Structure 1
Amino acid sequence: MGVIGLLMRPSELMALVKLKKQIGVWKRRSAAQEKDADWEFCFDMLNKVSRSFAIVIEQLGDELRNAICVFYLVLRGLDTVEDDMAIDNATKARLLLSFHDMIEEEGWDLHYGYKDEKVLLEEFDRVVRAYRSLKPQYRATIKDITRRMAEGMQKFTEMEVTKIADYDLYCHYVAGLVGIGLSQLFSGSGLEDQGIAQDEALSNHMGLFLQKTNIIRDFLEDHEDYNEETDTRRVFWPKQIWGKYTDKLENFTFGKNQEQAVACLNHMVTDALRHLPYSIEYLSNISDEQNFLFCAIPQVMAAHTLALCYANPDVFKGKIRKNLGECRNTHPVKIRKGLSAKLMLETTDMQATLSILEDAIDSLADKISPTDPSARETIEKVQLCRDLIVQGRRSSSPSSKVASTWRQETSKATSYVAEQCTVPLLVLLFGITAAVDVPQALGSAWWQSEAVPAKLGPVHVWLTSLALAFYSLTLLLLTRGAALSWCKALSAAQVAMTAAEVVFSPVVGLSVVVQALPKLLLAAMLPSCAKQRHSRQLFAKQQAAMGNRRVLRPRPIKADKSY
């Protein structure tokens, strides 16, 4: 389905091709920087243990690329020790708490983890040598964050994530500190203002948004990572949330109790949404273009992943593969490769980022059910994000604002035209099919043409019947406002039918193209029309269910320091 899906989405296919070329440019720029064998190993391992982060790291300038590469590998090594369920707690505690000192000492290695992470730890002395070649301010930041993260990881080997405060604290240790460390590296390089490093709370929220998205998406994989010796599982969802929907989290695995599982999932997504406004605020403070891309691309990916997870029972399904102690879900919920490439290429500046985040928020909002237990809170979080996006646009430069407004108005106009014209076009095509194609298929056409045989073959008869059924079903779904989940499939079906009609058409030349164009136009307009109608109906239902809800006004953000 991957190749077929790409062919059905030519814009995503083109984005993949363009991104591959762009990654080549970034890699050549990175390769131009002089490196010894240790640095070659570091960047090779970076691409193996995290391909997605490797892309955004390699696009950085020379000043920060090496420092952030080592920063990531050191923390990945630490995380590998923490993740290895085969290490007993006493040994794990000793390794975690001494890791920040070990990165100062050459000639040591560890034999834990699996696959590429295992190679990383076995040859960690190369990372240590690369670390020791960095500027003093970078080494100080990496060592301090490693120490603080290790202390937090050790703390959570002895306690469970029960309350939302515990959940926030755990995410602070494993991801918020990463955001804080990156901000310190940015400021230490001189490319960003010192205020970026000083506002640790804002950096923390940015890390929490990414980490909570991963924890939500990887629920099944984490839950099934079971250690028989200690009788423990990797559980990060706080009981304060899931305890409202079940007494045991295993009741949600592999499609069990789907209604309650999805309600719990939506509550978790809603909790993660509260960090997005702070991420927007953080991004607005970044001035260097390459630093901005490094921060913004993971944020837009997380936002779209979160929207995909919302109300999605597939989060609790999948196929678990266990090999040499490693537990992986081979069918996780994730955004398409083509869409990922498109998002990466479109994330060019703050205005573009706001538009992409708005798309994710709108996608999530379309799926909110008024009967969902956390619907009120979700709508409030969505509204706050929308308000801040509007606020962000207003604070941009006039030229950016004009361009953004033009794009927004163009998009709205396109959606309006699609909504107004799709149903009439459907009716017209249905009428033409019934009045022209059906008699022709039955051999009782009232016109004469030497180019068209008196009676068509069975393939054309079948295609004509299929077209009548398709137009009838699509009209029914659109008029009932129930076509949102079907619109992409309907659009793809229309393209496939049109292609088949062109191939098996009894006539050739320009007339075939003329017949195909309105059908392809219908396929292009169907998704926009269905989404527009569905959004309006859903918004009306939400408003009716919520009653006189308090309207949230844009307001300055104050990042809390609850950690």
Structure 2
Amino acid sequence: MIMLKKTSRTFYIPISRLKDGLKDAVAAAYLCMRAIDEIEDHETLSDDLKAKLLLGIHDAFESSNVVDNSRKLLAPYQDVLPEVTMKIDEWALLCPPTAAGVVYRNTAKMSKQMAEWVHESWNIRTEDDLDRYTYSVAGMVGEMLSELWLWFDGTKTDSSKAIAFGRGLQAVNILRNQKEDMERGVNFFPDGWGPKEMIKYTRRNLKIADEYLMELKGGPALEFCKIPLTLAHATVNLIAAGGNKLTRDAVMKLVGSIN
């Protein structure tokens, strides 16, 4: 939970409120995916090395010895990779055994797709490209969470709406981080798109995410999803009005207002 708090203000709060067992599974999943995200976004690693490490994690998480294989892969890079990445073996161990298959399979799949995007130099020209990218790094998380809800208490969800939930949250990040992304030579906006078009894309996915939540019948899945979705709506509204990032006080006020 200490690492979770360091790496995500948005997800620390809802994960910390989950019930035992599910909390470990979702925390493990988030931290594994944050670990590989840090490789994809690393400012000094070459693209070839990023792809090599991401494909290596794919292979490790598909192997019968996830912990040793991922540890061996990353050991030579302990001086350049962040702590959350170097400890991916610990996050893998954190996951309850009966949920490990879900987390390992999705971590492997995401690692492979991230490696493919590195090879493509994140070349996003069309809305279809954007859909593929946001699925690779976030829509897939929505799918995985749906599997974990089912694993924990039998909650069934609409997979396509779960994807839109993840995609909408990622689109908010793309809007919020456009300047920083451009400074490192990456543009996630399709050709001809400006903030207006990306806001429209974001709101369309968040609307589907609202439908996803409406179909949840209470329980931990609903309680978890309410917080990041509320913050996403507030952030896109702030961006549309010329702002960029919610303050800590605004975040806490919004979280406190959620029933």
Equivalent position SS for 1:213: helix
Q: Which residues of 2 match residues 85-234 of structure 1 at below 5 A?
A: 85-103=43-61, 104-106=66-68, 107-108=71-72, 109-110=74-75, 111=77, 118-131=82-95, 134-136=96-98, 138-159=99-120, 160-193=123-156, 196=157, 199-225=158-184, 233-234=185-186
Q: Secondary structure at the match of 2:45?
A: coil
Structure 1 stretches of 4+ with a deviation exceeding 4 A read: none
Instruction: State the TM-score, normalized to the length of structure 2.
Output: 0.88
Structure 2 matches for 1:250-265, cutoff 5 A? 264-265=194-195
Rg (Cα) greater in structure:
1
Deviation at 1:307? 0.8
Q: Where does the alignment leave 5 or more consecutive residues of structure 1 unmatched? A: 1-42, 226-232, 243-263, 315-332, 349-563
Amino acid at match of 2:135: H
Tell me which amino acid in the other structure corresponds to 1:234: V
Structure 2 residue identity aligned to 1:167: L
Find the partner of 2:202 among 272, 281, 287: 272
Change (3 A) 1:84 1:127: same
1:68 and 1:142 map into 2 onto residues whose CA distance is 9
Pairing 1:508-523 to 2, within 5 Å after superposition: none
Deviations 1:282-319 (A, max 9, x none): 1012224332121011111111110111152x6xxxxx
How much does 1:113 deviate? 8.5
Counterpart amino acid of residue 83 in structure 2: V
Q: Following the alignment from structure 1 to structure 2, what is the Cα–Cα distance between the partners of residues 283 and 125? A: 32
Task: Write the mapping of 1:99-498 to structure 2, written as runs, cut at 5 A.
Answer: 99-103=57-61, 104-106=66-68, 107-108=71-72, 109-110=74-75, 111=77, 118-131=82-95, 134-136=96-98, 138-159=99-120, 160-193=123-156, 196=157, 199-225=158-184, 233-239=185-191, 241-242=192-193, 264-312=194-242, 333-348=244-259
Q: 1:385 aligns to what?
A: none
Alpha-carbon deviation of 1:167?
A: 0.7
Counterparts in 2 of 1:86 and 1:176: CA distance versus 1, 3 Å:
same
Q: Which amino acid aligns with 1:125?
A: D
Amino acid at match of 1:164: E
Q: Any stretches of 5+ residues in structure 2 without a counterpart?
A: none
- Deviation readout 1:326-354 (Å, 9 max, x if unpaired): xxxxxxx2123333222112211xxxxxx
Q: Does the 8 A contact of 2:169 with 2:206 survive in 1? A: no
SS at match of 1:87: coil
Q: CA deviation at 1:57?
A: 0.2
Question: C-alpha displacement at 1:154, in angstroms?
Answer: 1.7
Q: Looking at both structures, which has the greater relative contact order when contacts are Cα pairs under 8 Å and sequence separation is at least 6?
A: 2
What is the CA distance between 1:102 and its match in structure 2? 2.5
Aligned to 1:65: 23
Matches of 1:335 and 1:51, distance apart in 2:
11
CA contact (8 A) 1:84 1:112 kept: no
Aligned positions, number: 249
- 2: CA distance between counterparts of 1:157 and 1:124? 20
Instruction: Name the % identity.
Output: 28
- Matching residue of 2:39: 81
CA contact (8 A) 1:105 1:128 kept: yes
Q: Does the 8 A contact of 1:266 with 1:311 survive in 2?
A: no
Find the counterpart in structure 2 of residue 50 from structure 1: 8
CA distance in structure 2 between the aligned counterparts of 1:236 and 1:112, rounded to whole angstroms: 29
Contact 1:80 1:113 in 2 (8 A): no
Asked whether the 8 Å contact 2:51–2:119 carries over to 1, the reply is no
Query: Distance in 1 between the 2:126 and 2:89 partners?
Result: 39
Q: CA RMSD in A?
A: 2.0
Name the CA shift for 1:206/1:266 in 2 (closer, same or farther; >3 Å): same
Q: Read off the aligned partner of 1:62 and give its amino acid letter.
A: D
